[in-house]
Amino acid sequence: MKRRQSLGTLFSATLTLLVGLCLATGAIAQTKLRVFSGGTNQRPDLMRVLFDRYQKANPGVTIDIETGGATSELQRQYLSTVLNAKDAAIDLYMIDIVNPAQYFGAGWLEPLNGYVGEPAVALKPYLPVYATSNVIDGKIAAMPAFADAMFMFYRKDLLTKHGVAEPRTWDELTAAARKIQQAEGNPNLQGLSIQGAPIEGAVCTFLLPYWGQGKDFNDAAGKMTLDKAAAVKGLNQWLGMVDAGVLKKNVAEVKTPDTVNEFKAGQVVFAINWTWAWDRFKDDKDSMVQGKVGVMPMPAMPGGKSATCVGGWQWAMSAFSKNKAEAAKLLKYLVTPEASRFLAAEGALLPTYLGVYTDPEVLKNVPWFKDAAPVAMAGKSRPMSRDYGQVSDVIRTTTSAVLARTKKPAEGVDEIESRLRRVMR
């Protein structure tokens, strides 16, 4: 027994010595990677688990994680400062789905074709939206980390109670909402809640009925292709729903948390919001709708097709990294189906691969993802632009003004077209 222990001790000491010699002589290359992993909403705690797994499988790599910025805008401001200075401190960083064109245009990110392959092959396994949102001038600007999307949540119990089927068009939703509102006799019950305040959500509010007519806001090169008649029709659709009593009259003041809180309180039949809202409906102690919520595809306009706003986050490589080969290996690991499955099962982060939506382990933890798949498949990216901040500002402020009735729909669309013509050319 003592001999066995001595041999074991000798083996461990020898192994330690060999590893030390390898490190000292460079036989095991040491690379330190620094990754900016966003803020709390991007779940850096789960990313740390993935990084630790990667380090264990790659003992020559050490990964430092950096976090900060509660919002996409604050994170963009920080990264803009670092990358504009051509600082090599960060190797990989996480960016919002609306940012690849901006970062590519500024020369801040490393095109990934040489590391992951050409777009048609490299992005084929993912949700369709990434083939447009992440490809700039034929170059892959970023790879999908996890998705987000706007969903149509609805009171499953109320639709069942009043014999109402899931509406497929906005007109059908108006009729369904009015029927339930009248039958319930509750003057505080809203038919539908959307975001009309001049925030990022109002960009999607503008786009949903526009896309629902089968229209695109820009082409593959980012040039604006605005169909003004369709845009006016979409804005009139919302105003008609205000007049019908389906949308509240002060819709131009409604922000994202307002929709979540009012739906959670049982004051809304249908509500449009992002993925994270589901957990608030399901888990919050003050939720009045636990077990009563359904998810359905976004309605279309007559003759059109369902489409929704996709959000989410991407991994990009800094153009100034001094460790591009190793950073690329880590990036490829972070965008595998296994990584997507882990983030979905442990963090309820929307998968980037269609197959993960039906994975038994994921559905065990997040059963509603089975209904999320067709919504995510119909997802579209907000306008591609190297100056997305200006594009967003024009669309959201104008949309809010139209909903507040300080601008007429045609006037608002003319303003969007004229102000963005030079930005998106």
Structural domains of the chain in order of their starting residue, each with its CATH number: 30-141+311-373 (3.40.190.10), 149-307+381-420 (3.40.190.10)
pTM of structure: 0.89
Strand partners, 136: 139
Q: HSE of 37 in the Cβ direction (CA atoms, 13 Å)?
A: 22
Task: Supply the pLDDT for residue 10.
Answer: 41
What is the chain's alpha carbon radius of gyration, rounded to the nearest angstrom? 24
Cα gap 245→268, rounded to integer Å: 12
Task: Supply the pLDDT for residue 17.
Answer: 46
| Cα-based torsion angle of the residue sequence 322, 94, 100, 278 in order, rounded to the nearest 10 degrees | 170
Within a 10 A sphere around the Cβ of 17, how many other Cβ atoms? 10
Task: Supply the pLDDT for residue 196.
Answer: 98
Look at residues 264, 107, 238 and name the one whose alpha carbon lies nearest to residue 173: 238
| Residues 231 and 237: beta-carbon distance below 8 Å | no
Look at residues 382, 386, 385, 358 and name the one whose alpha carbon lies nearest to residue 372: 358
Instruction: Tell me whether strands 139-140 and 143-155 are parallel, antiparallel or unpaired.
Output: unpaired
Q: What is the pLDDT along the chain (425 residues), one digit of tens a residue?
A: 444 444 344 444 444 444 444 444 455 569 999 999 999 999 999 999 999 999 999 999 999 999 999 888 899 899 999 999 999 999 999 999 999 999 999 999 999 999 999 999 999 999 999 999 999 999 999 999 999 999 999 999 999 999 999 999 999 999 999 999 999 999 999 999 999 999 999 999 999 999 999 999 999 888 999 999 999 999 999 999 999 999 999 999 999 999 999 999 999 999 999 999 999 999 999 999 999 999 999 999 999 999 999 999 999 999 999 999 999 999 999 999 999 999 999 999 999 999 999 999 999 999 999 999 999 999 999 998 999 999 999 999 999 999 999 999 999 999 999 999 989 98
| Residues 124 and 352: beta-carbon distance below 8 Å | no
Strand partners, 148: 311
Provide CB contacts within 8 A for 122, sequence distance 6+: 112, 113, 116, 140, 143
Instruction: Tell me whether strands 92-96 and 31-36 are parallel, antiparallel or unpaired.
Output: parallel
Residue type, 246: V
3-class SS of residue 241: helix
Q: Cα–chain-centroid distance for residue 69?
A: 17
Cα gap 235→194, rounded to integer Å: 13
